[in-house]
A and B are shown apart, each in its own frame.
Chain A
Amino acid sequence: MNKRLENIRNFCIVAHIDHGKSTLADRLIEITGTLEKRELTNQVLDSMELERERGITIKLTPTRMKYTSGGTEYLLNLIDTPGHVDFTYEVSRSLAACEGAILIVDAGQGVEAQTLANVYLALENNLEIIPVVNKIDLPSADPKRVKKEVEDLIGIPAMDAPEISAKENINIAAVLEAVIAQVPPPKGDEAAPLKALIFDSYYDSYKGAISMVRIMDGAVKPGNKIKMMQTPGKTFDVVEVGYFSPAPKPCAELKCGEVGYIAASVKNVEDTKVGDTITLADRPCDTALPGYKKVLPVVFSGIFPAGDTKYSDLRDALDKLRLNDSSLNYSVESSAALGQGFRCGFLGLLHMEIIVERLEREFSLEIITTAPGVSYKVYTTTGETLEVSNPSNLPETTRIDRMEEPYVNMQIFTPPEYVGNIMDLAQGRRGESKDITYIDASRVRLDYDMPLNEIIYDFFDSLKSRTRGYASLDYEISGYRPSHLVKLDILLKGEVCDALSVIVHRDRAYERGKAMTEKLKEVIPRQMFEVPIQAVIGGKIIARETVGAVRKDVLSKCYGGDITRKRKLLEKQKEGKKKMRQVGQVEIPSDAFIKVLKSE
């Protein structure tokens, strides 16, 4: 075997949120001298402001490190991955670029549902799993029990797993030694034509769209003419290649087995599709890499510009975000209340929250999001089957024969004292209990069949508050089931506010309608006239509130001819109104939509 390849290890880290993934990554970067101590900020790889703040990893970030063991210098490529259920897609992308995965398990909490999902994903990709028990400094740490759990639940040997504390810098070198000993070196043929997997891409204003790649075969260097196998006809000249440490560093050449980036003055982001294979234009490889399974969005929401933000600003921002988050999809939508915007599909609620926050922070946009919904199957009386994710597109009741909604297999892990609370909650949300397993004295697993629709509304928040944050939740789509669904409309002064329409189960409609009208009464300011707020299903009013009219708004005095001040007061008042949304004659503050759609 090629000597160079033998000294390369490509690996990622799989862990539950909070189990110390980013902290361990920091330690590895530190111990290998990749960054000087003074250059280290906490959680180096979580470069997005949002990632640091929430303490989660959203984007994947590769880092090349050098480490000497037993007199041999090894090239280690770490690809940091997100931990949350919504980002399974991102995880699968990085897994395809690695030969091994470090599995971090919290020495106190043991294996979590989420960890399992990612471990299975890693095993499917034939990755070598290296278990590591972290947080051994905590008083609650019980490494022996946790190791046994790993062996029982996952079926891999764990008794020799390094016991470390990333936070306290204990035993970090043992992790690297385990990686070198257990992760197989990459395979590949340096003499073969270039075959490189794009596992991520990002846009650089100077260099254009940049592909993050794992070279499977061959090599690439500046001056090469390349093509993307899914984008026939176009060729690009490689301007720069390099690796991440963790900032991009140009190098002379990227060879098989290595992880790095290729800049080739690609103007159009669409031309660097994640999962695509890069090869040489004049000496292409025979077959493309399998790429990734396309993931389908499960949560949908409208996103509309608000305040000073323009439709085109929002479109540009979404285009940029999609560049490195191909799981985000969107299409133009227009709403009578909110104007021109986008219908967006997300992998889950967290994914949606992250996108919304990134739009607001990184692009400084003001936006309104409508209530998250799922995609329903509608069978019409004429025999058609429609997929409806936007309540406005639901056909007339008389045209609907029957409807189906997506269900999920939901697992909740919780300390035993909260089981009652969780059962209450799940039943109230139409959950059907399938199984309750007492794993050990401190943990119970509850399995439910649950409509996805009920989870995305406010289930997660309610779960957290009913279990003081101890319960964790995981779910996967199990399929569609027939359901009695209705469209709930909100009328303001007699006019439908399309942005507030939702599709709900018949049994939950009254409760939802009442909650929405009550909340609207709180957030809609008094207007010149009375505003009746009605929740309506197919013409039948199920809840009603009224916002009274303004009684007094008058500048009684016009003291000493100070006209300018009066005019400015009115101009200011008018300016405030401009930020409002107009539904018929009713003026609604933008944030009212958000307040109504958020749960109490």
Chain B
Amino acid sequence: MKKSSIYIHIPFCEHKCKYCSFCSYACGLPEQKEYIKSLIKEVKLRADKNICATTIYIGGGTPSLVDASDVARVLDEVRGSFSIEADAEVTLEANPNSLTYEKLEIYKAAGVNRISLGLQSHKNKFLQLLGRPHDYAQFKRAAEAVLRCGIANLSVDIMFGLPGQRQAHLKKTVKKAVKSGAVHISAYGLNLEFGTPLEAAVSSGTLAECDEDASNEMYKVVNKALERWGFARYEISNFAKPGFESKHNLNYWVRGEYLGFGVSAYSYTGGVRLENTHDLAEYSNRVNKAELPVIFTETETPETAEKEYIMLALRTAKGIDLYDYAAIFKKDFVKTYKPAVEQMAGSGFVCLSDGRLYIDEKHFNVSNLIIEKFF
């Protein structure tokens, strides 16, 4: 039996947030219903009982926006089409304003045991700036509902590096996230993606960007504060109390296999990476014709496999397991990358100990520059 993660994409939002460049649509109910039908068809198309799902992640968009019963139907279909591990981690992403206790009960009955809730900031002024469809009060109510319904594995997303954000604001956001009962926190720096309203506002000069140095300081603030609350950083942007690391995320970092369903979902299976269409109509058309909605396929080569291994492993706190590397690629990492290892270890950017090579936690802020040395 082949182990795999499963990702399901729900591309709907009330409206797009002002910083978001991901695949999401503000659509009415008929389109949502149509999409769920297509999604179920895709799951059926790719059904394989020899695949055992270790984690399932329903992301978006805003999965909590669509009918909870539709989400349950999709999950039922997944259960019918694949084998599911008994203690599989099943996560659903939710926005505070669309997550209700009633919906939670339906999710829970369908097997959801982890909720990822988007807070971003406790200050409504920043929520408005980001174009988030909720306020802090709604977040509080939603988090309470999650715990009340018996789902203890709560993850909260927060953001730093926002225009006008100060360290004091951020510390408070971290505290409020922790106090909400979260056992897992994802902290993302704001990236101004081209084509988003926020990026346009900054480029036109109507909004002042948070500068690099300040943003980096905030990243450190988050790290420090969470450490005090008993969280450990296990990956660049992810922090967890012991035992609550996201298995779904970790599967990406260890190059585990995953199947992605829905528009703009990605799969990695049998050494092949697949990308689904980003277009709703094309997606429906193709699955209706019993075709896979794939628009891009890349077969791994030894070279890309190695690069991805290094890139993904170095994102994690544990870094590269040198024995594991040697077993997979039949060569010694330190010898292969001697000049880069010497330079990086010599200047303290990476550490070498216990048979592992990992980025020093002070230098996660320049992880790209470090990873690139081994490319």
For A553, the chain B residues whose CB sits under 8 A away are 365-369
For A573, the chain B residues whose CB sits under 8 A away are 368, 372
Cβ-closest chain B residue relative to A548 = B213
Bound together, the chains give a CA A560 to CA B263 distance in angstroms of: 11
Beta-carbon contacts under 8 Å, B47-102 to A: 59
When the two chains form the complex, which single residue of A551, A561, A570 contacts B371, counting CB atoms closer than 8 Å? A570
Beta-carbon contacts under 8 Å, B265-289 to A: 265-268, 273, 275
Q: Are A551 and B368 in contact (CB under 8 A)?
A: no
Q: What string of 1s and 0s marks CB contacts (under 8 Å) between B332-375 and chain A?
A: 00000000000100010100000000000000111111111001
Q: What string of 1s and 0s marks CB contacts (under 8 Å) between B236-264 and chain A?
A: 11000000000001001000001010001
Q: Are B213 and A551 in contact (CB under 8 A)?
A: yes
For B191, the chain A residues whose CB sits under 8 A away are 556-557
Bound together, the chains give a CA A436 to CA B364 distance in angstroms of: 67
Q: Are B273 and A552 in contact (CB under 8 A)?
A: no
Quick check: is B22 within 8 A (CB to CB) of the other chain?
Answer: yes
Quick check: is A294 within 8 A (CB to CB) of the other chain?
Answer: no
Quick check: is B7 within 8 A (CB to CB) of the other chain?
Answer: yes
**A331–chain B nearest beta-carbon distance, Å:** 31
Q: What string of 1s and 0s marks CB contacts (under 8 Å) between A542-573 and chain B?
A: 00000001111111111111111011001101
Q: Are B189 and A564 in contact (CB under 8 A)?
A: no
* A529-B347, A552-B365, A554-B189 known; A563+B370 contact, CB < 8 A: no
- Most chain B CB neighbours (cut-off 10 Å) among A528, A563, A566, A585: A563
Cβ-closest chain B residue relative to A559 = B22
* A552-B216, A563-B268 known; A571+B375 contact, CB < 8 A: yes
Quick check: is A434 within 8 A (CB to CB) of the other chain?
Answer: no
* A528-B370, A556-B188, A570-B372 known; A561+B7 contact, CB < 8 A: yes
Q: Are B216 and A551 in contact (CB under 8 A)?
A: yes
Q: Are B266 and A562 in contact (CB under 8 A)?
A: yes
- Most chain A CB neighbours (cut-off 10 Å) among B219, B258, B315, B371: B371
Listed stretches B124-132, B163-171, B304-312; interface member: B304-312
**A154–chain B nearest beta-carbon distance, Å:** 63
Q: Are A562 and B365 in contact (CB under 8 A)?
A: no
Quick check: is A574 within 8 A (CB to CB) of the other chain?
Answer: yes
Q: Are B315 and A558 in contact (CB under 8 A)?
A: yes
Bound together, the chains give a CA A301 to CA B246 distance in angstroms of: 60
Bound together, the chains give a CA A564 to CA B349 distance in angstroms of: 25
For A563, the chain B residues whose CB sits under 8 A away are 252, 266, 268, 273, 308, 311-312
For A566, the chain B residues whose CB sits under 8 A away are 311
For A557, the chain B residues whose CB sits under 8 A away are 188, 191, 237
For A561, the chain B residues whose CB sits under 8 A away are 7, 252, 258, 260, 266-268
Bound together, the chains give a CA A570 to CA B273 distance in angstroms of: 17
Cβ-closest chain A residue relative to B349 = A528
Q: Are B364 and A554 in contact (CB under 8 A)?
A: yes
Q: What string of 1s and 0s marks CB contacts (under 8 Å) between B312-325 and chain A?
A: 10010000000000
For B275, the chain A residues whose CB sits under 8 A away are 562, 564
Bound together, the chains give a CA A107 to CA B212 distance in angstroms of: 62
**B101–chain A nearest beta-carbon distance, Å:** 28
Quick check: is A577 within 8 A (CB to CB) of the other chain?
Answer: yes
Q: Are B59 and A560 in contact (CB under 8 A)?
A: yes
Q: Are A564 and B298 in contact (CB under 8 A)?
A: yes
Q: Are B252 and A558 in contact (CB under 8 A)?
A: yes
Quick check: is B9 within 8 A (CB to CB) of the other chain?
Answer: yes
Q: Are A574 and B369 in contact (CB under 8 A)?
A: no
Beta-carbon contacts under 8 Å, B190-217 to A: 191, 212-213, 215-216
Q: Are B258 and A551 in contact (CB under 8 A)?
A: no
**A311–chain B nearest beta-carbon distance, Å:** 22
Place the interface of chain A in its size category. Answer: 20 to 34
Cβ-closest chain A residue relative to B347 = A529
Size of interface on B: residues with Cβ below 8 Å to A: 46
- Most chain A CB neighbours (cut-off 10 Å) among B191, B215, B368: B368
- Most chain A CB neighbours (cut-off 10 Å) among B22, B59, B273, B366: B366
Bound together, the chains give a CA A559 to CA B266 distance in angstroms of: 9
For B249, the chain A residues whose CB sits under 8 A away are 558
Q: Are A574 and B189 in contact (CB under 8 A)?
A: no
Cβ-closest chain A residue relative to B219 = A552
When the two chains form the complex, which single residue of B212, B237, B265, B308 contacts A551, counting CB atoms closer than 8 Å? B212
Q: Are A560 and B189 in contact (CB under 8 A)?
A: no
When the two chains form the complex, which single residue of B252, B367, B375 contacts A554, counting CB atoms closer than 8 Å? B367
Bound together, the chains give a CA A549 to CA B265 distance in angstroms of: 37
Q: Are A556 and B189 in contact (CB under 8 A)?
A: yes
**B4–chain A nearest beta-carbon distance, Å:** 11
Cβ-closest chain B residue relative to A577 = B372
Q: Are A560 and B266 in contact (CB under 8 A)?
A: yes
Bound together, the chains give a CA A585 to CA B368 distance in angstroms of: 17
For B349, the chain A residues whose CB sits under 8 A away are 528
Q: Are B9 and A560 in contact (CB under 8 A)?
A: yes
Q: What string of 1s and 0s marks CB contacts (under 8 Å) between B287-306 and chain A?
A: 00000000010100000100
**B294–chain A nearest beta-carbon distance, Å:** 13
Cβ-closest chain A residue relative to B249 = A558
Cβ-closest chain A residue relative to B189 = A556
Bound together, the chains give a CA A528 to CA B213 distance in angstroms of: 13
Bound together, the chains give a CA A551 to CA B189 distance in angstroms of: 13
Q: Are A570 and B311 in contact (CB under 8 A)?
A: yes
When the two chains form the complex, which single residue of B9, B264, B307 contacts A567, counting CB atoms closer than 8 Å? B307
For A554, the chain B residues whose CB sits under 8 A away are 189, 236, 364-368
**A24–chain B nearest beta-carbon distance, Å:** 54
- Most chain B CB neighbours (cut-off 10 Å) among A528, A559, A561, A574: A561
Q: What string of 1s and 0s marks CB contacts (under 8 Å) between B1-43 and chain A?
A: 0000001010000000000001000000000000000000000
Q: Are B215 and A556 in contact (CB under 8 A)?
A: no
* A554-B189, A557-B188, A558-B252 known; A570+B368 contact, CB < 8 A: yes
**A494–chain B nearest beta-carbon distance, Å:** 13
- Most chain B CB neighbours (cut-off 10 Å) among A554, A563, A570, A585: A554
For A556, the chain B residues whose CB sits under 8 A away are 188-189, 191, 236-237
Q: Are A528 and B189 in contact (CB under 8 A)?
A: no
**B355–chain A nearest beta-carbon distance, Å:** 25
**A13–chain B nearest beta-carbon distance, Å:** 55
Bound together, the chains give a CA A310 to CA B296 distance in angstroms of: 36
Bound together, the chains give a CA A555 to CA B264 distance in angstroms of: 19
Bound together, the chains give a CA A558 to CA B188 distance in angstroms of: 11
When the two chains form the complex, which single residue of A549, A559, A567, A577 contacts B308, counting CB atoms closer than 8 Å? A567
- Most chain A CB neighbours (cut-off 10 Å) among B249, B275, B372: B372
Q: What string of 1s and 0s marks CB contacts (under 8 Å) between A521-549 and chain B?
A: 00000001100000000000000000001
For B366, the chain A residues whose CB sits under 8 A away are 528, 549-554
Beta-carbon contacts under 8 Å, B226-243 to A: 236-237
For B9, the chain A residues whose CB sits under 8 A away are 560
**B93–chain A nearest beta-carbon distance, Å:** 11
**B12–chain A nearest beta-carbon distance, Å:** 15
* A529-B347, A557-B188, A567-B307 known; A574+B372 contact, CB < 8 A: yes
**A336–chain B nearest beta-carbon distance, Å:** 16
Nearest 6 CB-CB pairings of A with B = A551-B216, A553-B368, A551-B212, A561-B266, A574-B375, A556-B237
Additional A-B contacts beyond A551-B365, A552-B189, A563-B311 (20; CB < 8 A): A528-B370, A550-B212, A550-B366, A551-B216, A552-B366, A553-B367, A554-B364, A554-B366, A556-B191, A556-B237, A558-B252, A561-B260, A562-B266, A564-B273, A570-B307, A570-B311, A570-B375, A571-B307, A577-B372, A585-B347
Mark B residues whose CB is within 8 Å of A. Answer: 7, 9, 22, 59, 188-189, 191, 212-213, 215-216, 219, 236-237, 249, 252, 258, 260, 264-268, 273, 275, 296, 298, 304, 307-308, 311-312, 315, 343, 347, 349, 364-372, 375
Q: List 30 A-B contacts (CB under 8 A).
A: A528-B366, A550-B366, A550-B369, A551-B366, A552-B216, A552-B366, A553-B366, A553-B368, A554-B364, A554-B365, A554-B367, A556-B237, A557-B188, A557-B191, A558-B249, A558-B315, A560-B264, A561-B7, A561-B252, A561-B266, A561-B267, A562-B266, A563-B312, A566-B311, A567-B311, A570-B307, A570-B372, A573-B368, A585-B343, A585-B347
